[in-house]
Amino acid sequence: MQSIKQQWFGNVRGDILSGIVVALALIPEAIAFSIIAGVDPMVGLYASFCIAVIIAFVGGRPGMISAATGAMALLMVPLVKDHGLDYLLAATILTGIIQILFGVFKVAKVMKFIPNAVMIGFVNSLAILIFLAQVPHFIGISTMTYVFVAVTLLLVYTLPRFIKVLPAPLIAIVGLTAVALFSGVELKTIGDLGNITQTLPSFLIPNVPFTFETLQIILPYSIALAIVGLLESLLTSQIVDDMTATESDKNKEARGQGIANFINGFFGGMAGCAMIGQSVINVKSGGRGRLSTLVAGLFLIFLIIVLGDLVVKIPMPVLVGIMIMVSIGTFDWNSFKYLIKAPRTDAFVMLATVIIVVYTHDLSKGVIAGVILSAIFFVVKISTLKITKQDYRYIVDGQLFFASTDAFIDYFKKEEMQEKNIQIDFSNSRIWDDSGVGALLKVKGMLSENGIKVEVVGLDASSQKVITQLDGMTSSH
């Protein structure tokens, strides 16, 4: 891995430029995610500023962008609705503590056990939920709303062909806000949904009673936020690792996300995590080092302080158009091919993850269900045992352990044997546990009662040893 100096100052020019591009792309998302969570735009903007700046110092993956995200915002909705902003800030701080613990106890490794099917389901359901969150802001409001959403989408998808220096969403925002202001069309604006305060965030302690009851309210949310945040952060870091052909410290990243959220909560920001889309923008714009993340955060808050009163004039339909683009970009379009080509159980797990998330509006529930489902499928798959007969030889294919012993014993119970001497061949099999050893001994005993002599061949050394020892014991009395 690179030296600290290299991580900070190895790519100064590229990092500053890309940081600026990311800051511009971050603002609409931070605002939109605040609206999804049901809080003031400032909560998402402060979060994006705090997290980006802190993670630049303590993160494990240089060049990755972390800020307020859709995945996290979607989890907070009920908490904000039922208990308000202060509980959200308290939950954010607790999320930070849990994530720091994840980092300390090296939970990042566990993420390796999450199957691809679940991760694909995760990004797809995230995309669907971000899209669904936009629906109330453009369906059945006014004709002009539809027009502005459509024009925004047209601009963000066609402009990049001609203009490569400036991000297309920024041009769409500036251009269409100007059009809306000068033409005087009736459109909802960001200002209608919340305020922009043109000040730096300041330290505060969430105004919640420090009681067990409060903990009971926020803990479930914090656990879900911690898991989802870590999941998206580690997926993103893997993507950045690949794009830049470098490696990163996953446990340091988990700890870093925790530190960032912990401090962020005290400065009025909502919990966040790494962002796939923004990190890709950063790397594509030439960002590689920690400086890019720092510049993104600093430039974002600078823009808000300077241009805050213009930001509130951005029409909602334009923001909606940009968020539809974000959701299209988040969706994994190879999933359709995956559904056809992947093993049936994987395709099922992916679909189940999506359906559970979309139904419950909770990404963590979908992920947990997906992981449990695939674990069950995995056990079922490896517990299938095939036994084929060749003359006097029974060849076992598959793993013999607690889940497959019944199939093994049943086969020999049902089998009608003519031979007096048979062989059971374990060359293509392996005995994993005591249940497996027990099952083999049981079959041997069963057959010898019928006067059939069994020879076991092809066992690995350790199982062979156990079998010989136990066999000796049983025949001695």
- Reading the block at residue 395, the tokens are 């060849």
- 382 and 399 in contact (C-beta within 8 Å)? yes
In the complex with other proteins, which residue's Cβ is closer, 158 or 474? 158
Choose, by CB under 8 A, the member of 120, 367, 369, 447 that binds other proteins: 120
Nearer to other proteins, 237 or 261 (CB): 237
Please report whether residue 245 would count as binding other proteins according to CB under 8 A: yes
CB of 233 to other proteins, least distance (A): 13
Who's near 13: CB < 8 A, 6+ residues apart? 286
Report the nearest approach of other proteins to the CB of residue 39 (Å).
Answer: 28
> Which listed residue (6, 244, 251, 345) binds other proteins by CB under 8 A?
244
Q: Residue 11 Cβ, how far from other proteins at the closest point, in Å?
A: 14
Nearer CB in complex with other proteins: 81/284: 284
362's tokens: 């909770």
Where does residue 361 fall: left (phi above 0), alpha (psi -120 to 50 degrees), or beta otherwise? left
- What is the sign of the dihedral through the CA atoms of 168, 174, 175 and 176? positive
Q: Structure tokens of 198?
A: 């043109």
Contact by Cβ (8 Å): 91, 222: yes
Who's near 420: CB < 8 A, 6+ residues apart? 451, 452, 453
Q: Any contact of residue 333 with other proteins (CB under 8 A)? A: yes
Give min distance, CB of 465 to other proteins, in A.
34
**Rounded to the nearest whole angstrom, what is the least distance from the CB of residue 64 to other proteins in the complex?**
13
Least Å from the CB of residue 122 to other proteins: 9
Least Å from the CB of residue 325 to other proteins: 15
- Residue 116 interacting with other proteins (CB under 8 A): yes
Q: Contact between 284 and other proteins (CB under 8 A)?
A: yes
Determine, following the binding rule CB under 8 A, whether residue 381 of this chain makes contact with other proteins: no
339 binds other proteins (CB under 8 A): no
Using the rule CB under 8 A, is 338 a contact of other proteins? yes
Residues binding other proteins: number (CB under 8 A) = 21
Instruction: Return the number of the residue (337 or 414) whose C-beta is nearest other proteins.
Output: 337
Considering the complex, state which of residue 214 and residue 248 has its C-beta at the smaller distance from other proteins.
Answer: 248
276 binding other proteins? (CB under 8 A): yes
Q: Is 112 in the site for other proteins (CB under 8 A)?
A: yes
DSSP string of 14-80?
A: HHHHHHHHHHHHHHHHHHHHHHHHTS-HHHHHHHHHHHHHHHHHH-SSTT--EES-HHHHHHHHHHH
Closest alpha carbon to 268 in 73, 77, 25, 41: 41
Provide, rounded to whole angstroms, the least separation between the CB of residue 220 and other proteins. 28
Interface with other proteins, residue 435, by CB under 8 A: no
| Region binding other proteins by CB under 8 A among candidate stretches 112-120, 251-259, 310-318, 440-448 | 112-120
CA-based R_g, the chain, Å: 29
Q: Shortest distance, CB of residue 322 to other proteins, whole angstroms?
A: 19
- Concatenating the DSSP letter of every residue in 257-288 gives HHHHHHHHHHTT----EE-HHHHHHHHHTT--
Give the one residue of 283, 314, 357, 395 binding other proteins; rule: CB under 8 A: 283
127/316 with CB nearer other proteins: 127
Q: Which of 6, 142, 238, 435 binds other proteins (CB under 8 A)?
A: 238
Closest distance of CB 369 from other proteins, Å: 19
User: By C-beta, is 276 or 294 nearer to other proteins?
Assistant: 276
- Residue of the chain from 119, 156, 225, 354 that contacts other proteins (CB under 8 A): 119
Does position 334 interact with other proteins (CB under 8 A)? The reply is: yes
Is residue 16 a contact residue for other proteins (CB under 8 A)? no
Stretch that binds other proteins, among 10-18, 53-61, 146-154, 233-241 (CB under 8 A): 233-241
Quote the tokens at residue 157.
């998808």
Q: Region of 245 please: left (phi>0), alpha (psi -120 to 50) or beta.
A: left
What is the smallest separation between the CB atom of 215 and other proteins, expressed in angstroms?
Answer: 36
User: Per-residue DSSP letters for 102-160?
Assistant: HHHTTGGGGGGGS-HHHHHHHHHHHHHHHHHHHGGGTTTS-HHHHHHHHHHHHHHHHHH
Compute the distance between CA of residue 120 and CA of residue 383 in angstroms, rounded to an integer. Answer: 26
Looking at the Cβ atoms of 338 and 432, the one nearer to other proteins is 338
Alpha-carbon torsion (302, 27, 43, 61), positive or negative: negative
Closer to other proteins by CB, 332 or 433: give it. 332
**C-alpha to C-alpha distance for 474 and 477, rounded to whole angstroms:** 6
Q: How far apart are CA 381 and CA 375, in angstroms?
A: 10
Say whether residue 243 binds other proteins (CB under 8 A). Answer: yes
Is 419 a binding residue for other proteins by CB under 8 A? The answer is no
Query: Which one, of 60, 50, 96, lies nearest residue 296 by Cα?
Result: 50
Instruction: Tell me how long the chain is.
Output: 477
Contacting positions for other proteins (CB under 8 A): 112, 116, 119-120, 123, 235, 238-239, 241-245, 276, 280, 283-284, 332-334, 338
